[in-house]
Amino acid sequence: MGKRIMPRAALCAVIVAVVPALSACGGVKDPQADVVAGKQLFVKKCGACHTLSRAGTKGTTGPDLDEAFQQSIKEGFGTTAVRGVIYKQILYPNRLPNDKGIKMPAKLVSGQDAHDVAAYVASVSSRTGKDTGRLATAVQAAGGGTATEKDGVLSIAADPNGQLAFAAAKASGTAGPVTIEMPNKSGIQHDIVIDGLGRGEVVSSGTSSFKASLDAGKSYTYYCSVPGHRQAGMQGTLTVK
Ligand code: HEC
């Protein structure tokens, strides 16, 4: 990895913090923020591209947001300065595409939502440990429970909260023909694939599905083939009776 340089906006944020009258850099004020809402929005709108350990997100398209501010925090940048950088990045991600050719979309959240997300990320970036209190339960963990085939259809939803996971990491089917479907309400691109059996289309809303025939007594792995998603944990095991 190359040397990471603090974005220029960071310097502005620091100047603003030290000399509040100086707002040449856009003067990010810090209104009250709801970090619980900020966490939920971060997981839904940002987590598919960014890793942030306290939020439990594992996206790899954009930079790791625990690492991104580690050096700056070590050098004494406070939470307010970091929050200002994140806020500006959300509204004006005026940076070049990364080495995968991907640019961060602007204004995925705006208004108070952007303040909430920036405040949450700044408060947890590069912090070890776990979120506590209301933050701990802000986003329900995905993957619990078992999806069961019904009337020839096995429906395994994508996590609707934006986590790179299926709502159920276990599924059970019966031998013979089946339609495997993945309803996706997350707004994030996903598909459902079983090697050797079939693959559904990539959808960001709607349903990905394919028809297959299951063998008795076998178990299969279903996963999302969008780059980085399976590695982040978007897979599960289908057991056939
Ligand atoms: C489609 C993927 C994608 C989404 C969604 C996304 N980002 Fe990004 N983000 C990127 C990429 C790519 C970069 C890196 C640009 C670069 O390094 O030049 C980036 C950079 C950043 C940075 C700068 C990190 C650094 O190293 O300085 C921050 C902060 C950030 N994003 C926060 C967010 C927040 C908050 C959200 C949600 C509102 C979000 N991102 C949503 C792809 C994404």
In the chain, the number of structural domains is 2
Whether residue 205 contacts residue 183, with contact meaning beta carbons closer than 8 Å, is answered with no
Query: Which of 93, 120, 136 is where one domain is finished?
Result: 136
Q: Is residue 3 a part of any domain in this protein?
A: no
How much is the pTM?
A: 0.85
Q: Which residues line ligand 1 (CB under 6 A)?
A: 7, 45-46, 49-50, 61-63, 65, 68, 86, 89-90, 95-96, 98, 102, 104-105, 108-109, 117, 121
Do both 64 and 158 map to the same domain?
A: no
**Which ranges of 127-220 does DSSP label H, i.e. alpha helix?**
133-136
CATH value at residue 49: 1.10.760.10
Residue 164 domain boundaries: 143-240
Residues 191 and 117 in one domain: no
Residue pair 126/70 in contact by the 8 Å Cβ criterion? yes
Whether 157 and 118 share a structural domain: no
Please indicate, yes or no, if residue 179 is contained in any of the structural domains. Answer: yes
**Helix (H) or strand (E) run with residue 236 in it:** strand 235-240
Ligand 1 pocket test: which of 8, 50, 188, 190 has the largest number of ligand atoms within 8 Å of its C-beta? Answer: 50
User: Which residue(s) pair with 207 in the sheet?
Assistant: 183
86 CA: nearest ligand 1 atom: 29
pLDDT 10s digit of each residue in the chain, 241 long? Answer: 444 445 544 444 444 444 333 333 444 567 899 999 999 999 999 999 999 999 999 999 999 999 999 999 999 999 999 999 999 999 999 778 888 888 999 999 999 999 999 999 999 999 999 999 999 999 999 999 899 999 999 999 999 999 999 999 999 999 999 999 999 999 999 999 999 999 999 999 999 999 999 999 999 999 999 999 999 999 999 999 9
Helix (H/G/I), strand (E/B), else coil: 10: helix
CATH number, residue 207: 2.60.40.420
Residue 1 lies in a domain: no
- Residues 142 and 185: their CA atoms lie apart, in Å, by 14
pLDDT at position 94 is 73
- Predicted confidence at residue 29, as pLDDT, reads 62
In a domain, 117, yes or no: yes
Residue 2 counted as domain residue: no
Calculate how far, in angstroms, residue 2's C-alpha sits from the geometric centre of ligand 1.
17
User: Can you tell me which residue has the tokens 């329900």?
Assistant: 140
pLDDT of residue 230: 97
- According to the model, what pLDDT value does residue 130 have? 95
- What is the Cα–Cα distance from 203 to 181, expressed in whole angstroms? 12
Q: Ligand 1 center to residue 148 CA distance, Å?
A: 37
